Structure formats: C-alpha cells, structure tokens
C-alpha cells in the first residue's frame, strides 16, 4: 500500500473498519499484556492507523506508543486522542524503524500481510526482538490463505456504507493478492467523486512465520482464530500469533 493510498483511505478508514470486533481484540491483547506485569506495561502499536486499538489500550491503563508510516493516519489518531483528552505518543516510520524500549509489540489489522518481501518480515521480527524487554511479547495477526484463495480470489465486491460506495476488484496470484478499489463519495446534486487506489498484500504461510519467529529469537506461545477461540479451523480468515522473546 503506497503513501498516496493511505492519503486517499485515511479519512474513511474508521467507517470502513466499523465491523471489526475491536473490543474482543482489546480484551485479548490486554490479557497477554497483563501477564507481563500488573502495571506500567509499555506497548508499541506498529501500524497503528487511526489509533483505535492504541487508544483503547491507553484507556485500559497501558503505556502505548503508535507507529505508522502514514502522516494522514497519524493526524487522525492525534485528533481522536485530543477528543478523548488522552496523550498518545505517535511516531512516523516503517515497522523496521522501531527504536523504543518496550514490553510488547503489536501489529493488528493484517499489517504483516503488507510486508511483501520475506526479508521485511524477518527484519521486523528482529527489530521487535531488539526493542522488547526480556520475556517481552510480540502479538500480530495475518489474513489467511483461505481468505485470499477462497473468499477474495478473482472476485468483484460492491457495497455501500452511509454516503460511501466501494467496488473492490480482487486478483489472487499466489502468494500475492492484488486489490483495485474504486471509492465513490457524493458531492451533491447527483454528482459523485471517484478515487481509485490499490492494496497489495502477501499471503504468508503460518509454518513460515513460525520458522521466522524461532530464527529471530522468539518462542511461539500459540495461535488463535481472530483474537478468539484457541482452535484454528480450516476456514479461519484471520489468525492471531502470540510469541515471547527468549
């Protein structure tokens, strides 16, 4: 996803993500953060977007810093923090730019799938390991091969949300998923504005990610289906990884 894509997407991002079960995600993350110690747990949200998860964790008493490459996303996160009268430190940069001492690194909303080269995933794991305190936790999720191959595939999707209409043209050429998205917003008097952007993601195999974690100094604690039940079904569309620094 390019910087220009983020600029187009940012102002409608929260609307597009309104069906995400954020409270369940926050409950799940909070459990593992609480196991590190009872108070003062430091969390870096890598790819924090508009700050929904980061702010939710901040409200639960954790010390959170948001990291994202998009200035537009960070601007919205800062605005949301101000509205809640919260102080959320925000840094602009890539996943591999983390230079913070922290107890937990999280990456939600399939951020890992946006890392298209295997070396970038390894670089992120190494950087997270370097930033984490002894026994610190790395928690992230991925979109699964089932989602890309069976749900998105080579399909076209169209839907409307309030005053926003979208058409999603998908193509999956393993291991890369290409999505061309047309976004229509009303200007009034029957006129509409159209924006077009692309999202490119890589389908990372679970076994490969586990191997990378082990090679970069982590111990996998477990896999969960979308921040919920422990058992992973063959139709899982999102898998959550939890690993600890050795």
Q: CA angle, corner 144, sides to 199 and 14, nearest 5?
A: 50
Task: Provide the 8-state DSSP code for 18.
Answer: T
Q: State the angle between helix axes of 206-215 and 118-131 in degrees (0 to 180), rounded to the nearest 10.
A: 40
Is 235 in a helix, a strand, or coil? coil
Tell me the pLDDT band of 2, cut-offs 50, 70 and 90. Answer: very low
Contact status, residue 136 vs residue 104, Cβ threshold 8 Å: yes
Global pTM reads 0.94
pLDDT tens-digit series, residues 150-183: 999 999 999 988 778 999 999 999 999 999 999 8
Give the model confidence (pLDDT) of 190-201 as tens digits.
Answer: 888 888 889 999
Q: Could you read off the pLDDT of 61-100 as tens digits, one per residue?
A: 999 999 999 999 999 999 999 999 999 999 999 888 888 9
- Phi and psi, residue 141, nearest 5°: -130, 160
Fold of 3-144+204-245: Rossmann fold (3.40.50)
Q: What is the CATH number of domain 147-201?
A: 2.20.25.110
Q: Could you give the CA distance from residue 145 to residue 166 in angstroms, rounded to a whole number?
A: 24
The span from the CA of 198 to the CA of 103, in Å, is 34
Cis peptide bond prior to 175, omega within 30° of 0:
yes
Question: Are 3-144+204-245 and 147-201 the same fold in CATH?
Answer: no
CB–CB of 173/116 below 8 Å? no
User: Does residue 31 register a pLDDT over 70?
Assistant: yes
Say which range, 26-30, 38-42, 44-48, 141-145, has the weakest mean pLDDT.
38-42
- Rg for the chain (alpha carbons), in Å? 18
- Residue ranges covered by each domain of the chain: 3-144+204-245, 147-201
Asked whether 235 and 146 are in contact (CB, 8 A), the reply is yes
Q: Which segments of the chain does DSSP mark as H helices, in order?
A: 3-9, 13-16, 22-36, 52-59, 71-83, 118-131, 145-146, 206-215
Q: Tell me the mean pLDDT in the region 103-124.
A: 97
């Amino acid at each position: 996803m390019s910087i220009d894509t983020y600029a187009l997407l940012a102002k409608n991002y929260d609307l597009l993500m309104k069906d995400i079960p954020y409270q369940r995600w926050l409950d799940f993350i909070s459990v593992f953060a609480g196991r590190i110690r009872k108070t003062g747990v430091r969390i870096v949200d890598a790819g924090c977007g508009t700050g929904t998860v980061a702010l939710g964790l901040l409200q639960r008493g954790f010390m959170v810093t948001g990291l994202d490459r998009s200035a537009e996303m960070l601007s919205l996160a800062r605005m949301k923090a101000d509205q809640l009268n919260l102080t959320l430190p925000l840094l602009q940069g890539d996943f591999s730019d983390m230079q913070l001492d922290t107890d937990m690194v999280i990456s939600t909303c399939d951020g890992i799938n946006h890392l298209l080269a295997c070396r970038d995933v390894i670089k992120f794991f190494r950087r997270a390991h370097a930033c984490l305190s002894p026994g610190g936790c790395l928690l992230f999720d991925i979109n699964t091969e089932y989602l890309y191959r069976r749900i998105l595939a080579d399909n076209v999707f169209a839907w409307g949300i309030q005053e926003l209409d979208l058409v999603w043209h998908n193509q999956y050429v393993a291991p890369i998923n290409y999505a061309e998205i047309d976004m229509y917003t009303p200007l009034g008097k029957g006129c509409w504005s159209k924006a077009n952007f692309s999202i490119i993601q890589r389908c990372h195999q679970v076994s490969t990610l586990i191997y990378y974690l082990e090679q970069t100094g982590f111990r996998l604690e477990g896999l969960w289906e979308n921040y919920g039940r422990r058992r992973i079904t063959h139709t899982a569309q999102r898998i959550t990884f939890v690993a600890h620094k050795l």
